[in-house]
Amino acid sequence: MSSVELPAEYVPPVPVEELSVRSADGIRLHVEVHGQPGAPTVVLAHGWTCSTAFWAPVIRELSDRYRVVAYDQRGHGHSEIPPSRVRYSTRALAEDLAAVLARTVPAGERAVVAGHSMGGMTIMAAGGRPDVAERTAANVLISTGPAELVAELTILPGAVRSPGLRRFLHRRLLLSRLPLGPVTPVSRAALKYATMGPGSPAGQVEATARIVHACPTTVRANWAGVLGRLDVRAGLGRVTAPTAVVVGTADRLTPPVHAHRMIAELADPQGLLLLPGVGHMSPLERPVEVAAEIHRMAAAHLAAEAPAAVSAAVATAASGASAASIASVAEGTTVA
C-alpha cells in the first residue's frame, strides 16, 4: 500500500458527463466530458499505460473556458480490453480517435486535439483520415515520436557502450510482461528515473506511479509490441491541421530528437516548446505550460481572436509559469 499522499491537483476531477463510445471494431471506449457545456472543445488522448486520470491537472487548467473531452485508450482505464493482440494496432488507435471525435464534437464544429506519447502517435496514425481532419482545428503533439522509438531511448545511455546491446536491452524493457505489482519506494524511484525529470516532487511521482501501475500487464505488453515496431511517419506527413509540438529536455522515452523531426515533417508546424529539465510525463510535470500551449492553439484556431487578445489570454492561462515558457507559448518559439 502506498504511503505517499496524493496532492489534490492530481486527484481526477469529477466529469460533467460520461459516455460509452463504440469504435469501428466494436471495442467500447470510456469517455469523460469536463468543463463548460457549449464552449469550444479540446480533446485529450493519453499515452501508453496511462488513463484519463493522467490529464487531471491539465483538465483543471482548461475547464474554466473549454469543454474538455478525455478518453481512455483501448485496454486502459475504464475502456474495454481487446480480446486479442490483433485488436492492438495504430489503425485501431486512429479508429478510436475518429469514433470519439464523431461522438463528442458537434456537427460543423472542430476541436483542438492534444495527444501525449501514444496519444500523439494516435494523432499521427490518423493523419489523412477525412473523418478526423474535418473535426480537427489544430493539434498539440506532446512528448511523442513517429518512429524508431527503441533506437532513440536513452534509459541506458552510458551504462551499455554497445549500441546494438543497448537497443536489445531497451527492447526487453519495453516488452517486459512482468507485473508491476503495488507501488513501492523502489518502483517509484525506477519510474521517476525512466519517465520523469530529476526535479519531479514526490506527489508527481506518486500520481504517475498509481496511474501506470493500474494498467493491466497484458495490455501494457500488447501495446509495447505495437510501439516497438511503430512507424507513423506517413501519417505525420498527411496531418494538415496546424500543429504544435511539446517535449521535455530530460525526456528519456521520446527525447527531443523526435520533436525536431516532427517539426521538419509537419505540413503546418506551429512551434516547438522545449520544457527544460522535464521528463516524458510533461502534462503531469508541467501542467500549466502544457495547458497554456493547448490554449494558445485553441485561441488561435478555434476562437479566431485578435493577436492582442490571444496574448492576453495566454498570459492569464500561463500565470505562474516561467518567463521563458510564457514567451515560448505566446510566440511559438523554442525554449533553449
pLDDT, tens digit (0-9, with 9 covering 90-100), for 181-206: 788 898 899 899 999 999 999 999 99
Domain ranges of the chain: 8-331
CATH superfamily of 8-331: Alpha/Beta hydrolase fold, catalytic domain (3.40.50.1820)
3-class secondary-structure state, position 305: coil
- pLDDT of 319 > 60? The answer is no
Say if CB 157 and CB 210 are below 8 A apart.
no
Say if CB 32 and CB 62 are below 8 A apart.
no
3-class secondary-structure state, position 270: strand
Provide the H-helix boundaries in the chain.
Answer: 56-62, 90-104, 118-125, 130-133, 149-152, 163-175, 185-195, 202-213, 217-228, 233-237, 256-265, 282-285, 287-301, 307-317, 323-331
Label the pairing between strands 111-116 and 136-142: parallel
Q: What is the pLDDT of residue 182?
A: 81
Cα–Cα distance measured from residue 238 to residue 132, given in angstroms and rounded to the nearest whole number: 12
- Grid coordinates in use for 244? 504544435
Say if CB 270 and CB 243 are below 8 A apart.
yes
Please state, for a pLDDT cut of 70, what percent of the chain lies above it. Answer: 82
Cα–Cα distance measured from residue 188 to residue 178, given in angstroms and rounded to the nearest whole number: 16
| C-alpha distance across the termini of the chain, in Å | 40
Cα–Cα distance measured from residue 49 to residue 250, given in angstroms and rounded to the nearest whole number: 20
Please state, for a pLDDT cut of 90, what percent of the chain lies above it. Answer: 74
- Grid coordinates in use for 302? 478555434
Beta bridge partners of residue 112, listed in sequence order: 42, 138
Mean of the pLDDT values across residues 79-87? 93
Cα–Cα distance measured from residue 49 to residue 221, given in angstroms and rounded to the nearest whole number: 10
pLDDT tens sequence across 209-256: 999 999 999 999 999 999 989 999 999 999 999 999 999 999 999 999
Cα–Cα distance measured from residue 178 to residue 197, given in angstroms and rounded to the nearest whole number: 24
CA angle 254, 258, 261 (to 5 degrees): 175
Q: Return the amino acid letter for 63.
A: S
Q: What is the pLDDT of residue 244?
A: 98
pLDDT range class, residue 305, cuts 50, 70, 90: very low
Say if CB 225 and CB 120 are below 8 A apart.
no
User: DSSP letter at 231?
Assistant: B
Higher pLDDT, 165 or 90: 90
Cα–Cα distance measured from residue 70 to residue 55, given in angstroms and rounded to the nearest whole number: 8
Q: What is the pLDDT of residue 307?
A: 34
Q: Output the pTM of the full model.
A: 0.87
pLDDT range class, residue 159, cuts 50, 70, 90: low
Higher pLDDT, 320 or 22: 22
Mean of the pLDDT values across residues 36-54? 96
Cα–Cα distance measured from residue 267 to residue 12, given in angstroms and rounded to the nearest whole number: 35
